[in-house]
Amino acid sequence: MPIDDILLENEEKMEKAVDYLRKELRGIRTGRASPALVEFLKIDYYGSPTDLRQLASIAAPEPGLLVVKPFDPGTLKEIDKALLASDLGITPMSDGKVIRLPVPALSTERRNKLVGQIKKLAEAARVAVRNVRRDANKQADEEKSASTMPEDECDTCKEEIQKLTDQYSKQIDHLLDEKNKEILES
Task: Map out the domains of the chain as residue ranges.
Answer: 3-26+107-185, 35-102
What are 110-119's pLDDT values in tens digits?
Answer: 788 888 989 9
51 DSSP β-pair partners: 42
pTM passes above 0.75: no
pLDDT bin (cut points 50, 70, 90) of residue 108 is confident
Contact between 122 and 21 (Cβ < 8 Å): yes
125 vs 20: CA distance, rounded Å: 8
pLDDT for 9-53, tens place per residue?
Answer: 999 999 999 999 998 888 776 667 778 788 888 888 888 888 888
Q: Does domain 3-26+107-185 have CATH number 1.10.132.20?
A: yes
Mean pLDDT in residue range 98-110: 83
Give the model's confidence band at 172: pLDDT under 50 very low, under 70 low, under 90 confident, else very high.
very high
Of the options 3.30.1330.10, 3.30.1360.40, 3.30.70.1560, 3.80.30.20, the CATH number for the domain spanning 35-102: 3.30.1360.40
Alpha-carbon span 122 to 127, nearest angstrom: 9
